[in-house]
Structure 1
Amino acid sequence: MKKRYFIGGTLAIALCVIVLYAFAANESADVPEADVTGQQTATTVSHTGGKVLVAYFSVPETDGVDASSGASRLVSDGKLQGNTEYVATVIGEATGGDLFEIKTVHTYPDTHKELIDAAKKESDEDVRPALATHIKNLDEYDVVFVGFPNWWYDMPQPLYTFFDEYDFSGKTVVPFCTHGGSRFSDAVKTIREMEQGATVLDGYAIARDRVAGSKDGILNWIGKIGMKKQERE
């Protein structure tokens, strides 16, 4: 007969609390995705002399600026920006990269409830929204940062259109995202599947309630992957 062992109620509760606390801390921290997934892949950028592009999709909301309202915007130096737009700006300044905003032909709602409802509908229907902006000189770039908010545990549908439109073979793609607790979800895996000829780094995820104070963390990450402007010159 197999022996059965039982953990006392108090000890079991204590262990549960520790596990939940660790999970919560891990969910809100801003760390490279590799630290979470344990994936083995390129961790630094092999820069061959081409230019750097920082592409991003961002929809600033108009009905609040704090995390409790779910807002995806902030005010930096007196300028209203979407969370992902702000992160893209920091990356662009640190790397000397060109900024490129991924815009759709149709306009998304700018209030939180309407926006997330529209995003859910697009996700459920696997829509590929038409893009209004297009990269005209992709051959000039060998490193492409791509940023987006996590919508419904995935990258927004316009990003599917974006990766359908471009072949990044031979380039390094560096994802970054802003999120409410889910980091990239499976977005990095999806990007690797869609861009099999590219080197796709694990990327960097920032909780939306930390974006306003995220600059130092972003710069530290940029340095670790070898992309600070002065390090490449």
Structure 2
Amino acid sequence: MSNDGNMTRRTILAAPIAASLISTSACAQESRTAPASNSTSLVAYFTRSGNTRVIAETLQRTLDAAIFEIQPAQPYPADYEENVEQARQERDRDYEPPLAKVVPDFATFDTVFLGFPIWGETAPPVIRSFLSAHDLSGKTLRPFITHGGYGPGSSLDVLGDRAAGAAIVAPFILEADQERRTMNQVRGWLDENQLR
């Protein structure tokens, strides 16, 4: 069979998978932009590779919580090395990039699960922006943190400084690698804390 024939066969076989992924992505995007109106718990998260999103969506489904994806107004570069350099410069200047949007009716939430990856041994600059834009006074803050092997760094100090009025509980910290392992560990953490 010619290369053209193989390409056509691959295209035909891949079409149902692509359609499924597009549909799943559209549903996920809707859930990230439309927080549930009856929940007193919010899952707010920032992700680059998707590991933190896995935890956020597991929490949202398990707790029937509202969900909100934290995004900067100007997206970070897609190129990993450019992203790292920009984040380093923002961290070093203590820069808070503008947010694409803030959480509607933030005052109605009692508990905020806040998720993010570790960048440059601390919380990403956009997390500082999120904390500055939302008053966490009197709320319970439950961090969940992903990292590639170096732990949480100084991220807990950032939370303590920027969410001064919140009751910050011990974080869930995960060296993220596999989706299934991530979901199982999150559920175990929820069970240990009697949250489901």
User: Is TM-score (shorter-chain normalized) higher than 0.5?
Assistant: yes
**Number of equivalenced pairs:** 159
Is 1:131 matched up with 2:120?
no
Name which of structure 1's ranges 167-176 and 184-193 shifts more when overlaid on structure 2. 184-193
1:181 to 142, 149, 173: 149
2:140 to 162, 172, 188: 172
| Cα deviations by residue, 1:55-106 (Å, 9 ceiling, x for unpaired) | 00112xxxxxxxxxxxx3xxxxxxxxx1111110011111111110111110
**Distance in structure 1 (CA, Å) of the matches to 2:141 and 2:123:** 15
Alignment of 1:1-150 (within 5 A): 51-59=40-48, 72=49, 82-150=50-118
The percentage of counterpart residues that share the same residue type is 30
Shift of 1:120: 1.3
Larger gyration radius, structure 1 or structure 2: 1
Structure 1: 5+ residue runs without aligned partners? 1-48, 60-71, 73-81, 229-233
- Residue of structure 2 in register with 1:75 after alignment: none
Shift of 1:139: 1.9
2:51·2:177 contact (CA, 8 Å) conserved in 1?
A: no
**Distance in structure 2 (CA, Å) of the matches to 1:184 and 1:170:** 24
Q: Which has the higher contact order (CA 8 A, sep 6+)?
A: 1
**Distance in structure 2 (CA, Å) of the matches to 1:161 and 1:220:** 30
TM-score, with structure 1 as normaliser: 0.64
Structure 2: 5+ residue runs without aligned partners? 1-37
| Cα deviations by residue, 1:21-45 (Å, 9 ceiling, x for unpaired) | xxxxxxxxxxxxxxxxxxxxxxxxx
Shift of 1:224: 1.7
**Distance in structure 2 (CA, Å) of the matches to 1:167 and 1:134:** 11
Cα RMSD over matched residues? 1.6
**Distance in structure 2 (CA, Å) of the matches to 1:148 and 1:187:** 10
Shift of 1:133: 1.4
TM-score, with structure 2 as normaliser: 0.76
**Distance in structure 2 (CA, Å) of the matches to 1:197 and 1:215:** 30
Give SS of 1:178's match.
strand
- Residue of structure 1 in register with 2:162 after alignment: 194
